[in-house]
Amino acid sequence: MFDFLKSDPKKKLDKEYKTLLEQAMQSQRNGDIRKYSELTELAEAKRKELEALG
């Protein structure tokens, strides 16, 4: 009955994925390659979760 109130997990994961990629890009531009690598790894984990949801 209240399905329209439930948040879509795909949208949430996609937003987190894009945010992590943006942060990684900014870190790379600032020369912080270690942080870039960490953020990219986290983003890839989110992408895999997103693909698992279909």
**pLDDT per residue as tens digits for the range 17-38:** 999 999 999 999 999 999 999 9
Whole-model pTM: value is 0.84
pLDDT score recorded for residue 7: 81
> Tokens 């937003």 identify what position?
15
Q: What is the pLDDT of residue 1?
A: 62
Given 3-state DSSP classes, what are the helix, strand and coil percentages for the chain, each rounded to the nearest 5?
85, 0, 15
pLDDT band at 5 (very low <50, low <70, confident <90, very high): confident
Cα–Cα dist 54/44, whole Å = 15
